[in-house]
Structure 1
Amino acid sequence: MDELALLKLSNGPVTRTRLVRDLSALGLGPGDSVMFHTRLSALGYVTGGSQTLIDALREVVGDQGTLMVTCGWNDAPPYEWTTWPPDWQEAVRAEHPAFDPERAECDHSFGRLPEALRRQPGAVRSRHPDASFAALGAAAHRLMDDHPWDDPHGPDSPLARLVALGGKVLVLGAGLDSLTVLHHAEALADAPGKRFVDYEQPILVDGRREWRRFHDIDSAEGAFDYTPVVGPERDAFEVIGQEFVASGGGVRGLVGAAESHLFDARELTAFGVAWMEDKLRR
């Protein structure tokens, strides 16, 4: 979408001042720890792009607040690389670079904001190669340090710590299918048919590259087969998010031109766990 179209969408430039006003009206405030998901173009023409949005978010949460994003690793070896022909496997094992939290690019499918945030001075990125997060602000180390190698979406994960801190989840123009905190709900839910993955990725240990085996819920294909519940065309996280909103959960409003939502992370996670345990046991 070109600049003129974006300007028309937002009825003029979306400035830092306008973003601060809209985010505050939505309910974000000083001291909040907030994980955010953004489709930047949905906001309209944001003057300064990602940097302006990050600056506005930091202004709203203040010095005692914290911003958090999900990063992943764009260039991680795929789960199935150990099923490739032996010579291909040998090449990967010999030369694939180790995950470096300071240098590894965030998964491009998550949009521009995760990479922009993790590059900010003072940002802290968690150590997990496949399920990394990044945070900036007062609680950054508390959220990110010593990210568990196994079950990285479960207890003591950055998502669990966000919930424990009374954190929030902000969706700025993105679909509700982007609600990463629902992977934490999947990790916690006691429901039949939970799917797991075991995979190998290279990490740095005392400055040396080592291959490590990891165990997690299947966050790529889904920790559960939701098809019998939501059908083949709908995304389960989007359905859960929509039903949470319909139940009165969260606050909805405009930020720039984008329909946006602000959720309590604990309430959303609890709703997700209850939904999974109810729907998937039928």
Structure 2
Amino acid sequence: MIPPRGMQDLDALTADLARLGLPSGRDVLVHCSMRRIGYVEGGAGTLFDAVRQVTGPGATIVVPAQTSDNSTTSPAFREATRSLGQADLDAFEARMKGFNPASTPSYRMGWFAEYVRLLPGSVRSGHPQTSFAANGPRAARLMDGHDLRSHLGEQSPLAKLYESNAAVLLLGVGFAVCTALHLAEYRLRSPRPERRYRCYLEVDGHRRLCEFEAADLDDSVFPQIGRALEETARVSLGRVGAAEARLVAVRDAVDFAAAWMNDRDDTLDMRRHGRRTAQGDRS
């Protein structure tokens, strides 16, 4: 059987990751589009093996495992229900399942993230909307204590990845989806306003409503931050398979983003006010 043209195998992906500069022994947060990498022999498992070969057994591999589909205050919910009348809206909400960290699939996080989440030995953080999953020697420590009101902040895995000098690996995706940049929002001179969040949990086999107040995060400027960051020496650029690849330290990304947003604080406040006015009540 002739393999598909441009097929990526373990050796090719390992070589690409090493050429990009993926470090050995350091934890790594991976955001990935398998489709953009191209046809991979063995799929997400082969990519995981390639990352593990380069980083070594001492590193912990982390992925986003978010679940916006169990929430009535998420953009995903608004998108899915925009044209529904009240009766259909109520029925849609009634079908929502509660979040169970052991069994709930991630939502729109990609094949690689789901592969890591389901791997034996993987650990998932307990946040019902912005959880992460990790596999490696520091998985339990990194995933522990993900506070409900700290989606992507100081009591989330991102802060621990910052402390451990982890790397961020973006494969086929850009800084628009780089969750590490959200940690910078918690470190600005002007704190983010808070808003109400509403989602469902699974507790002892029963669905339970969960409502809480937390920071109103805004990723709309992340592409701009990413372009500016790439103009510095902090980001390693290359290709993994057919995909554009970016590698940066969590500390460098967060510190740069916080400084960039602080320098533009007044302008960004006006933009955020306009965004909230246009969207109306996001809760």
Q: 1:121-159, CA deviations, whole angstroms, 9 ceiling, x for partnerless residues? A: 111111111111111111111111121111221112111
Q: Could you tell me whether the CA contact under 8 Å between 1:74 and 1:105 is conserved in 2?
A: no
CA distance in 1, matches of 2:52, 2:137: 11
Is the contact between residue 184 and residue 258 of structure 2 (CA under 8 Å) also seen in structure 1?
yes
2:196 equivalent in structure 1: 198
CA distance in structure 1 between the aligned counterparts of 2:240 and 2:50, rounded to whole angstroms: 11
**What SS does structure 1 have at the residue aligned with 2:141?**
helix
* Offset of residue 200 of structure 1: 2.4
Residue of structure 2 in register with 1:26 after alignment: 20
Deviation at 1:90, TM superposition (A): 7.6
In the alignment, the residues of structure 2 paired with residue 164 and residue 137 of structure 1 have an alpha-carbon distance, to the nearest angstrom, of 17
Displacement after TM superposition at 1:64 (Å)? 0.9
Given that 1:153 and 1:216 are in contact with CA atoms closer than 8 Å, whether structure 2 keeps it comes out as no
TM-score (norm 2): 0.82
- In structure 2, what residue type is equivalent to 1:254? R
- 1:91 CA displacement: 6.6
* Other structure's SS at 2:45 match: helix
Distance in 2, Cα, partners of 1:218 & 1:144: 22
Give the stretch that moved more between structures: 87-96 or 148-157. 87-96
Contact 2:21 2:247 in 1 (8 A): yes
Aligned residues: 259
Contact 1:98 1:209 in 2 (8 A): yes
Partner of 1:147: 146
**How far apart in 1 are the matches of 2:88 and 2:242?**
48
Q: Is 1:188 paired with 2:187?
A: yes
CA distance in 2, matches of 1:151, 1:64: 28
The reply to whether residue 78 of structure 1 matches residue 72 of structure 2 is: yes
Letter in 2 for 1:248: A
- Whether the 8 Å contact between 1:151 and 1:187 is mirrored in structure 2 is no
Return the match for 1:238 from 223, 233, 238.
223
Q: Is the 8 A contact 2:10 2:46 kept in 1?
A: yes
Which ranges in structure 1 are unaligned for 5 or more consecutive residues?
Answer: 224-234
Q: Percent identity?
A: 35
Q: Do the aligned partners of 1:191 and 1:281 also contact (CA within 8 Å) in 2?
A: no
Amino acid in the other structure paired with 1:141: A
Q: Secondary structure of the equivalent of 1:127?
A: coil
In the TM superposition, what is the alpha-carbon distance from 1:30 to its structure 2 partner? 2.4
CA drift at 1:208: 5.5
Task: Find the aligned partners of 2:70 and 2:93 in 1 and give their Cα distance.
Answer: 12
Separation in structure 1 between the aligned mates of residue 36 and residue 85 of structure 2, nearest angstrom: 43
Q: State the 1:266 CA deviation.
A: 0.4
Which segments of structure 1 move beyond 3 Å, counting only runs of 4 or more?
84-97, 204-210
Superposition deviation, residue 281 in structure 1: 2.7
Asked whether the 8 Å contact 2:125–2:133 carries over to 1, the reply is yes
**2: CA distance, partners of 1:44 / 1:202:** 36
- What is the aligned-residue RMSD (CA, Å)? 2.7
1:190 & 1:279 partners in 2: Cα distance? 11
Unaligned 5+ runs, structure 2? 78-83, 268-283
Partner of 1:213: 211
Partner residue, 1:232: none
TM-superposed deviation, 1:189:
1.6
- Aligned match of 1:98: 98
CA–CA separation in structure 2 for the residues paired with 1:218 and 1:166: 26
Is residue 271 of structure 1 aligned with residue 269 of structure 2? no
1:29-108 to 2 correspondences below 5 Å: 29-79=23-73, 96-108=96-108
What code does the residue aligned with 1:274 have? Answer: A
**Paired letter, 1:30:** S
